[in-house]
Chains A and B, each alone.
Chain A
Amino acid sequence: MFGYVREYPPELKLKHHVFYRAVYCGVCKSMGQCTGFCSRATLSYDMAFLALVRMALERTPYEVIPQRCVLHPFKKHPILRENAALDYSARVSALLFHGKVTDNIADSHGAKKLFFRAVRPFAEHFRKKAGLEAMGARICERLAALSALEKGACESVDQTAEIFGLLCAEFFAFGLEGKSETIARSLGKHIGRWIYAADALDDFERDVKSGAYNPFAALYGAILSESAKESVAAAMKNELVSAGKALDLIDFEDENIKTLVYHIVFEGMLRKTEELTHKKKSKGELR
């Protein structure tokens, strides 16, 4: 489900690359400190995006310093110094992983089920260390609601995407207040809807082949025509536009964070949309 919210390297300046990586590594380091060494395996770039947004909304002062990490024990790399946003993203990652494992145990069979059962003790351990029980519970609730819809072969992408959107809105906005909370909720909702659609689209062919539920298959049928793919791309872009409107209302203090966040949405996620709907664009073209 995660891994689609990323940068687009060819259009990113090196200094922003370095900063982006520093944030990503920062989340990883936080995970190691907070939820344990193994939890780092659940790391995703989506969490780096979350950290950036939280830093922007909370106006977190930050510092990039050369640090060592387990994967690079000899040479120090620029990593963001520990801060509240990194810590928070690490915890969210653990809770999402736990939610996913619980959900998959309930829904899958055979070897897959065994795998998730085997992984469950790890997930439980991460969850315990992550804390934020209220949010963890909400994540599990939303995932259960989503499961129920999918089991019922829901024919609406909007309904299913909306649940995932609301799930993301929860952890984007958790702990924030007032204006920041409203913006984070809206941003999270649209990012979440986009992620759900991206994941469903990516799994489309595999699901149709195996007969598994896929919201786009339920809506469009077993084949997505070129025209249908274009429509789906437009709907996904619509989510990006809505996310952009939320971003426009953030009072960014830091140019690096602002540039990176906008880049991820309007270059990274936009290109990913086109890639998933098989639209090959030449470099420099936006549509």
Chain B
Amino acid sequence: MNSNKNPYSVLGVSENATDEEIKKAYRELAKKYHPDKYAGSDLAELANEKMQEINAAYDEIQKMRASGARPSYGSGYGGSSYGSQNGSYSGAHAADYAYIRSCINDGNYTAADMRLNAIPAGDRGAEWNFLYGVTLIATGRTFDGRAYLERACAMNPGNLEYRAARDRAANVSFDSWGSSPGTQTECTGCSCGDLCTTMLCLNCLCGGCR
């Protein structure tokens, strides 16, 4: 890290920028390099360094301009979770699916993956494909995961939960990277968190469609 760097240039503002402009620049950079965005990535450490650099620059500017409270960008990004399954599973693998859902809820994708693979090929219906798709996407298997979500929707077209998850996964938005106008302001790519939020909402709304 270059400690001799001008803090204003780290934030990408001029030395005559107003306090508001500085705050805005800081917020945008913090959003861009926020650890949640790089969670699980092999670049997490570097992003963290960059984040520290940005924080240090902001602090320095504040000090230089006399005191002022700086916004705390705390790690208030609570992970969203699946609601507990309200309706009960029925059928041969009821216990398995309930267990798999709770694994996914806990972020224990390895266990979910193993249990899913233990279910014999002949018994793999829509629910299996859905849960497997969610697991795959959560563990970075972005192409295969989406294919399984497609299968789940094809097997059970009426299921809103599957459709919502599939649509969510198909919706990769970009922030102001491109030069084209009208782009989204939020960018995360697709993460399991997005799918989980959707599932939580759906569970509340329809008590777990099955």
Residues of A within 8 A of B (CB): 11, 156-158, 161, 179, 182-183, 185-186, 197, 219-220, 225, 227-228, 230-235, 237-242, 244-246, 248-249, 262-263, 265-267, 270, 284-287
Interface-central residue, B32, B45, B174, by most chain A CB under 10 Å: B174
Chain A residues touching B, majority SS: helix
Residues of the A chain whose Cβ atoms lie less than 8 Å from the Cβ of B45? 182
A241 to B43 alpha-carbon distance, docked (Å): 13
11 CB < 8 A contacts A-B: A157-B143, A186-B42, A227-B150, A231-B169, A234-B146, A237-B174, A237-B189, A238-B190, A245-B37, A248-B32, A284-B180
Interface positions of B from 24 to 80, Cβ below 8 Å from A: 32-33, 37-38, 41-43, 45-47, 49-50
- Chain B, 133-159, contact with A by CB distance < 8 Å: what is the 0/1 string? 000100011111011011001000000
Task: Indicate if B179 sits at the interface (CB-CB under 8 A).
Answer: yes
**Interface of B: prevailing SS:** loop
Residues of A within 8 A of B204 (CB): none
Task: Tell me which residues from 149 to 205 in chain B have a Cβ below 8 Å from any Cβ of chain A.
Answer: 149-150, 153, 166, 169-174, 177-183, 187, 189-190
Do residues B46 and A182 form an inter-chain contact, with CB atoms below 8 A? Answer: yes
Task: Give every chain B residue within 8 A of A186 (Cβ-Cβ).
Answer: 41-43
Using a CB–CB cutoff of 8 Å, the interface residues on chain B facing chain A are 32-33, 37-38, 41-43, 45-47, 49-50, 136, 140-144, 146-147, 149-150, 153, 166, 169-174, 177-183, 187, 189-190
The distance in angstroms between the C-alpha atoms of A154 and B177, with both chains bound, is: 34
CA–CA, A183 and B43, complex, Å:
7
Within the complex, what minimum Cβ distance (angstroms) separates B110 from chain A? 16
Q: Are A241 and B187 in contact (CB under 8 A)?
A: yes
Known: A182-B46, A284-B181. A238 touches B149 (CB 8 A): no
Smallest distance from the beta carbon of A255 to chain B beta carbons, Å?
Answer: 13
Partner of A267, one of B37, B144, B179: B179
With a cutoff of 8 Å between Cβ atoms, the chain A residues found around residue B37 in the complex are 245
Q: Is the CB of B170 within 8 A of A230?
A: yes
Docked pose: A161 CA to B172 CA in angstroms: 19
B180→A285 contact, CB < 8 A? yes
In the complex formed, the residue of A with least CB distance to B143 is: A157
Alpha-carbon separation in the docked complex, A270 to B183 (Å): 13
| With known contacts A158-B144, A238-B189, A244-B177, A249–B172 Cβ distance under 8 A | no
Structural contact, A266 and B150, CB atoms closer than 8 A: no
Q: Which residues on the B side are within 8 Å of A156 (C-beta)?
A: 141, 143-144
Chain A residues positioned under 8 Å from B149 (CB to CB): 231
Determine whether the beta carbon of B150 is less than 8 Å from that of A228. Answer: yes
List residues of chain B with CB within 8 A of the CB of A284. 180-182
